[in-house]
Amino acid sequence: MLTALRSLLYRFGGEERGAVLVEMTLITPLMISLSAGVFEFGNLLHQKLLIEAGLNDGARYAARCNQTFNTALNCGTYARNIAATGSYNCGGDCAVASRVAGWLPATVMVDLNHRVITVTTDANGLVNYHSTTPNVRVVRLDTSFTYTGASLLSYLGLGPITFSAAHEERYIGW
């Protein structure tokens, strides 16, 4: 009996036909998790870049918008809409036209007078800003967005990720 058991174990140890199946069984969950993680991170990064591009566009518009010249303009609302949807008028349903699903114009904060910097000249005659006015104004758009994404983050127990972005432009008007 002992000899038969030894012979069976010896043959089992030398057999290689099932080795690939065992290796694939061990590696497959790890590879699927890594692939899902790469996809999730790529999606998160893509949404972050879309939001930053939107803030850049909205701030560029706000920096050139001159509400005192044309009182019909609503620079803050238009900049907010441009940031979130890419259009100054999203046609009433801004959620459908949004650059990123769930990112609405209402979550974009617009500060048309974020900083007012006085133009000064130092002892050497150097001017801190070249301007025809005594002050330089800076506009700022900022937002925060909660990325919920796919279920991988919640599966790992990380929960939703909230990231913030902002963009500033020097006001030049038109």
Strand 161-170 to 135-147 pairing: antiparallel
Q: Can you tell me the mean pLDDT for 34-54?
A: 90
pLDDT for residue 145? 92
Q: Can you tell me the mean pLDDT for 58-81?
A: 84
What is the C-alpha to C-alpha distance for residues 51 and 49, in angstroms, rounded to an integer? 5
Q: Which of 71-85, 121-135, 147-161 has the lowest mean pLDDT?
A: 147-161
**Highest mean pLDDT (candidates 44-58, 129-143, 155-169):** 44-58
| Residue 116 CB coordination number (10 Å) | 10
Q: Exposed, middle or buried: residue 160 (CB in 10 Å: 0-12, 13-18, 19+)?
A: exposed
Answer yes or no: is pLDDT of 55 > 70: yes
Task: Identify the bridge partners of residue 117 per DSSP, sorted by sequence position.
Answer: 136
pTM confidence score: 0.78
Q: Which two tokens stand for residue 12?
A: 């089992």
| pLDDT range class, residue 73, cuts 50, 70, 90 | confident
Q: Which two tokens stand for residue 120?
A: 């000064």
